[in-house]
Structure 1
């Protein structure tokens, strides 16, 4: 009897093994990609965002070259990677140097240099072969997720390149001029073209086009597991489109939406989590040049407090792809004020941005229509970003999202020269104090106590009625001991 029982047990075991479902590699991959918790407001409170210019990030200009460096971005506190457009670029009306188009250049070898604008897209659902293939892209996203980072795509809804199939298959999707010809984008305020001749303006009165656009966005979320979008020229596209698109996408999974817009009406509360702090950025440039002062910054923050809703927040930056290529490098625009302004972007409410090359002391204007590359030597800025990133990730006093830490103006005896404010949340407090001039300053500040000077790893005390001395552009981030 015992022998029969053992035989029956063995047969039962073999049958159960045979019936057990085999592991599906595709399902395992999908399971791995979902191991990262969905985008959440809690995560965004302490996030740093990194703008990746794949073309210029490496000599290869490839997805693979960027992917291998993703683990290193953790050193900088990065939680969100924003990929500049990595779609195929139209060849028709492609931009070259100055006011020229590629068609104006007769030398075929010279013409090859001009790769076109990232924002002149010929296919929303493909990748630029210059960067690699779709498998390479998927590996980039997977690697980011494995390292606790989210990936958002630059989405260009306002226009397409002239090679896009919609031009011939659906000309009704586009804006027409008085002669019935498809036109490049028009400035609504002046009625004149912007000069973006390499792209064709989409007509958002066409409901079918809107739906097709949303389907293209969903393709990247459903099929390639991206975590959101940065909306190029968001203010040029009707608000209700973004609200509908965001609603449809969020039925698939939570996503992070960034609007290239800084006006309160353009934050689209039902669509976007974050907008651009363009006004604050331009004010930083002006302060660095001596055209504005610390009091102007205080006035700007009061304006923010009264004109934005409590759950609005902005992306803070000293550079990005537009500023670098067209307005100048950080050193060109901010000079000796560069470090104080960088620290300011981390201590303000909102989310700080790092642009490709910034971490390596990039001090050249990257070519926009041609191949270029960034330096890869760690200098002064990399360790600064490491230290600022750790503080942003870990200290609730720097929370900058929908439940941001408070921001309180701190009075000084030199209001036009010294910027001082306090951030506070969950019992944690932090002060930013900076001399916003190119001259030494002596001042009193309405703060008392023994602090940790975070950037210098030292102690710093302020006593009542004490005169504090700061060198030109000197700043301190003070944390309560």
Structure 2
């Protein structure tokens, strides 16, 4: 079969160019794996970058000025929302949706040039960051050039024979994954960004809407090229069998929101964690969060779903629960107490960084303490008030961490009758050394939290 692979020619040239591209140098730390995942992610974290809204300029170069600050905060992996051009046809709002892609192998000119992007990735790598980009595989924008050149790349309406829009996303057109040529073209376009700009992986939008067979072929192919990290926007266990490293924890997040509202007790988290234990592969990484671009724009997370001080203990949980590689969204460190517009220019006003030290403490601990690695063991601790307090132990490589969170608006005094907490420990946020013993009284303010490192 003749495959109309629109990215193949560029890919062939890039293959030969990559042989002498200094930006693609590989080190042992880049190739190492743990439980099948890139080793560098196991004690890492992800920071979602909304380039359009991050600065007044909304460009790669303007964002680059924030790298020093984010490095100091402990950010490891930068996830950039789609960097591709946005379709004009059927555009929503003044600027359109980031997820209505007009060209898979081009840069949104609003953000800068391809060279600007390469410079940003190179600078980030020099500083020790990893870089992943948002990929939109389920659909393209309504005027992507494939619609003219390759109409068979799209799902057609049975009556009108015109490309259909998925869901209510009228600014997009759904791709046809029954077409092998289209599938090969998508893979080639994804390869382009690895070969040409040396990115470290992809966050894949609405990944469950794309067939498992495609993902198995695609991810296996991409991982032959580089030890990349693959994050799926989805919470289906089969995504891990298809090759994804990490999936979203929608179930856990929704439970956290209910607990924050007082509609569920703290111990309700057990059911969410049990679902992962029973449904997902043992080595599955999960994306824990208190906000992301969807939740912030449409549901006002986290400033409304976990308002005020209630945010903090849940943020601690996202950083310390088992299998977690946690997410922080643009502006949460400020914090921005408003939703960020999706279709219009709405720059984040940085300057206070009131949560920066809070996140820095957590991110640094994750990096330095093996007991907070995604694959560290987890033991739930029974407390004298499981309705309000959630506590557990993480252990790995001779390290131990005890996490105690008050998920209520009332101060709590509780006991934990378990010798596993006995010993000399240092509380993470106060740096205060303390001797802990089973059965002793532990005081927690409303929405309080304690993280003890042994």
Q: Normalising by structure 1, what TM-score?
A: 0.85
Summarize the alignment of residues 398-437 of structure 1 with structure 2, pairs less than 5 Å apart.
398-400=372-374, 404-437=375-408
Contact 2:288 2:319 in 1 (8 A): yes
Structure 1 CA distance, aligned partners of 2:31 and 2:131? 10
CA contact (8 A) 2:132 2:200 kept: yes
**1:242, 1:117 → 2: CA distance?**
24
**What secondary structure is seen at the aligned counterpart in 1 of 2:364?**
helix
Paired position in structure 2 for 1:173: 153
C-alpha distance in structure 2 between counterparts of 1:78 and 1:311, whole Å: 23
For 2:363 and 2:20, the matched residues in 1 are separated by 30
1:79 deviates by 2.0
Compute the RMSD of aligned alpha carbons: 1.7
CA distance in 2, matches of 1:142, 1:474: 40
Deviation at 1:459, TM superposition (A): 2.6
Conserved 8 A contact 2:67-2:124? yes
3-state SS of 1:151 partner: strand
Compute the displacement of 1:291 (Å): 1.1
Unaligned 5+ residue runs, structure 2? 1-16, 33-37
Q: Aligned residue for 1:105?
A: none
- Further displaced range: 322-331 or 375-384: 375-384
Does the residue aligned with 2:416 lie in a helix, a strand or coil? Answer: coil
1:442 aligns with 2:413: yes
User: Could you say which structure has the larger radius of gyration?
Assistant: 1
Q: Is the 8 A contact 1:39 1:150 kept in 2?
A: no
- Structure 1: which 5+ residue stretches go unaligned? 1-25, 97-113, 187-193
Q: Which residue of 2 aligns with 1:38?
A: 30
Question: Are 2:289 and 1:312 aligned?
Answer: no
- Please list, as runs of the form range in 1=range in 2, the aligned pairs for 1:166-315 lying within 5 A after superposition: 166-186=146-166, 194-265=167-238, 267-315=239-287
**Equivalent-residue separation in structure 2 for 1:29 and 1:326 (angstroms):** 45
Q: 1:58 matched to which residue of 2? A: 55
Pick aligned residue for 2:91 from 94, 114, 117: 94
256 and 39 in structure 1: CA distance in 2 versus 1, 3 angstrom threshold:
farther
Alignment counterpart, residue 74 of structure 1, candidates 71, 75, 86: 71
C-alpha separation in 1, matches of 2:332 and 2:46:
13
- Offset at 1:331? 2.0
SS at 2:178's partner residue? coil
Q: Report the secondary structure of 2:21's partner residue.
A: helix
Match of 1:389 among 363, 367, 388: 363
Q: Retained in 1: the 8 A contact 2:51–2:81?
A: yes
> Structure 1 residues 242, 143: closer, same or farther in 2, change over 3 A?
same
Task: Provide the secondary structure at the position in 2 that maps to 1:358.
Answer: coil
Alignment length, in residue pairs?
Answer: 427
CA contact (8 A) 2:288 2:326 kept: yes
Cα pair 2:395 2:401 within 8 Å, conserved: yes
Partners of 1:322 and 1:39 in 2: CA distance:
32
1:89 shift after superposition: 0.4
Moved more, 374-383 or 460-469: 460-469
Contact 1:396-1:426 at 8 Å conserved across structures: yes
How many angstroms apart in 2 are the aligned matches of 1:432 and 1:443? 13
Runs of 4 or more consecutive aligned structure 1 residues displaced over 6 Å after TM superposition = 26-29
Does the 8 Å contact 1:325/1:365 carry over to 2? yes
